[in-house]
Amino acid sequence: MKTKKVSILILISLSLITLSACNKDSKTNQNSSNKVEQRQQLDNSLNKVDNTNDPKVNENISETNAPSTISKIVGRRNEFIEKLDNIQKELDALPEKKDSDAGITNAMRSYYGISYDMYDKALNEIYDLLRNDLSPETMSDLQTQQIKWIQEKEAAANKESEQYKGGTFEFVAYNSSLYESTKKRCYELVNNYMTD
């Protein structure tokens, strides 16, 4: 009786294994035929495009494959110069500006920190616009320049603050240097990469 049960279990197991193997082969064959059909459709589509004598289609194909050679953004320079000028007007109207000009260290520290933040946001906006609109070649060169500029900006700010190490003016010198460098860089990017 025990051997009958074992024999039945073995028979059932073998049947299940055989069925699952057949099912896998069926799915593999189905996937293969789907892939063949997809490949034929793709080949047919490509042949239709290749055999086209329509000049408009060929013109559009060559236009989309042509490399972008934009080295300056047209028509945005005045807009951004005005934005940058308005930032300085806004900064000049801050209460911290008056106290900063009077030589109050905390006001100077605050004023130059705010000034740096505002010009840094403007710089990021300008850089994002350039990244989206300039050709890849121009952008690659600009990216290299920008990395170098960031290193120089940080080095200059550290050098300025080192003169006042441990003093209350240390952070004023640091923030002031960052603000001046970043403001200057904003105008450089606008003037070098945008036209009226």
Write out residues in the chain with pLDDT < 70, as ranges: 1-69
- Whether the CB-CB separation of 129 and 73 falls below 8 Å is answered with yes
Task: Please indicate, yes or no, if residue 91 is contained in any of the structural domains.
Answer: yes
Secondary structure percentages of the chain, helix, strand, coil, to 5 = 85, 0, 15
Return d(Cα 35, Cα 153) in angstroms, integer.
56
For residue 169, the domain's CATH number is 1.20.1270
Last residue of a domain, one of 44, 65, 86: 65
CA separation for the pair 72, 138 (Å, rounded) = 9
Regarding whether 174 and 143 lie in a shared domain, the answer is yes
Residues 39 and 94 in one domain: no
Split into its structural domains, the chain has a count of 2
- Does residue 71 lie in a domain region? no
Same domain as 109, residue 30: no
- Co-location of 189 and 127 in the same domain: yes
CA nearest neighbour of 88 among 162, 184, 23, 4: 184
Residue 8 placed within a domain: yes
In this prediction, residue 25 carries a pLDDT of 47
Please report whether residue 72 resides in a domain.
no
Together in a domain, 184 and 90: yes
164 and 95 in a common domain: yes
Last residue of one domain, picked from the residues 65, 98, 114: 65
**DSSP per residue, 39-76:** HHHHHHHHHHHHT---HHHHHHHHHHHSPP---SBTT-
Residue 129: domain span = 77-193
Residues 23 and 117 occupy one common structural domain: no
**Same-domain status, 36 and 106:** no
Please list, residue by residue across 9-33, b when 16 or more beta carbons sit within 10 angstroms of its beta carbon and e when fewer do.
Answer: eeeeeeeeeeeeeeeeeeeeeeeee
pTM for the structure as a whole: 0.64
Specify the pLDDT at position 72.
81
**Distance between CA atoms of 114 and 94, rounded to whole angstroms?**
10
- Residue finishing a domain among 14, 42, 65: 65
Residue 46 lies in a domain: yes
Per-residue pLDDT at 5: 62
19 dihedral zone (left: phi>0; alpha: psi -120 to 50; beta): alpha
